[in-house]
Structure 1
Amino acid sequence: MSVKTLNDLFLETLKDLYYVENKLVKTLPKMAEKATSGELKQAIEDHLVETETHVKRLEQVFELLDERPSAKTCEALEGLLKEAEEVTGEIEDEQTLDAAIISSCQTVEHYEIARYGTLACWASEIGNPEIAELLEQTLEEEKEADEKLSEIAEDSVNQRAAA
């Protein structure tokens, strides 16, 4: 599909984000398994449950647009996950590994925050307030997940890794 209008761009970006969320449903359990901090492991597992809800919400958006849910490979996410795998695969110290996992997770969260923020804005601009509201709900959950990761990093993981 060629992008000619904001509606086209919205739909293409939505497909990108649908790919991201579905990929994360498969990736987050692996990250939780690698984590050694119980608090970090729990935060990732909790966010997995939210991510499954995000997939369903995106499917609602497709439905509201009278579109079949479909994903478009997100090269940005693939690059971020490849980098995360390379970095975490090289670290033997458990505390440093947890710090790297948080960093990798937050990088993905920031990508999602940018995408959800943009899509919510565009949905409002093209006259879809119900869709904008669904996207803003997920945006807030992504921000909360990012804040939780920062909290874990600042309260314990980074200090243990630095020791």
Structure 2
Amino acid sequence: MTMNDLQELFVHKLAQQYYVERELVEALDEMARHTTNDRMSQGFADHREETRTQVQRLEEVFAALDRPAEARNSSVLEGLEEDRRELESRIEDDELLNMVYLNAGMMTERVEMTAYEGLTTLGEQLELGNDVQTPLESNYEEEKSAFRELETLATAKDLKSLWEQLTPS
């Protein structure tokens, strides 16, 4: 399909992010259930609920554009999920698997932050207004917060000592 204008590009990217958020509800649920670190499990569960709200906000953006909500595959997310699942199948140590989940979460949050930055920039160029920009900015702020929480977990004493145990001297 050929894209001919900025509006089409915006809708395409919005549909990809809608797909990402919907898929991540399930992925976050999986990681919350499988991690053995209580803080991490709770963090993934909390972000799963935020992600459900983010899906609703994206539906509001589609409505503001007078378009039905549409999901389009995201090869970036599919690649991240494929990598996580491949590592899960090769790792038996629970603590090492927790590190896989932490890393997967951080990588995904970075991708989401970048996607929302791009959508916001396109929305500004198109002068789409607050009905579009505000929900996108809210989602972006939540993604930044989730990333900061994962960074905090990565440097937490219990994970730092684990990281040191798993790193060869």
C-alpha separation in 2, matches of 1:67 and 1:19: 15
The correspondence of residues 56-95 of structure 1 with structure 2, limited to 5 A, is 56-95=56-95
Give 1:147's aligned residue: 148
Structure 2 letter corresponding to 1:119: L
Give 1:135's aligned residue: 136
C-alpha separation in 2, matches of 1:161 and 1:88: 18
Question: What SS does the corresponding residue of 2:127 show, helix, strand or coil?
Answer: coil
C-alpha separation in 2, matches of 1:154 and 1:2: 45
Contact 1:31/1:44 (CA < 8 Å) preserved in 2?
yes
Give 1:157's aligned residue: 159
CA-based RMSD: 1.1
Contact 1:121/1:132 (CA < 8 Å) preserved in 2?
no
Question: CA-to-partner distance for each residue in 1:129-161, whole Å, 9 max, x for gaps?
Answer: 311121011101001001101101111324223
Give 1:13's aligned residue: 13
Contact 1:109/1:142 (CA < 8 Å) preserved in 2?
yes
Give TM-score scaled by structure 2 length.
Answer: 0.92
Question: What SS does the corresponding residue of 1:127 show, helix, strand or coil?
Answer: coil
**CA offset at residue 89 of structure 1?**
2.4
Runs of 4+ in 1 over 2 A off after TM superposition: none
Structure 2 letter corresponding to 1:80: L
Give 1:121's aligned residue: 121
Give 2:97's aligned residue: 97
Query: Aligned in 2, Cα 1:161/1:94: closer, same or farther, shift over 3 Å?
Result: farther
Structure 1 letter corresponding to 2:71: A
C-alpha separation in 1, matches of 2:136 and 2:91: 36
Give TM-score scaled by structure 1 length.
Answer: 0.96
Structure 2 letter corresponding to 1:143: K
**CA offset at residue 162 of structure 1?**
2.3
**CA offset at residue 88 of structure 1?**
2.4
**CA offset at residue 69 of structure 1?**
0.3
5+ residue gaps, structure 1: none
Contact 1:2/1:8 (CA < 8 Å) preserved in 2?
no
C-alpha separation in 2, matches of 1:153 and 1:29: 20
Tell me how many residue pairs correspond in the alignment: 163
Contact 1:28/1:44 (CA < 8 Å) preserved in 2?
yes
**CA offset at residue 4 of structure 1?**
1.1
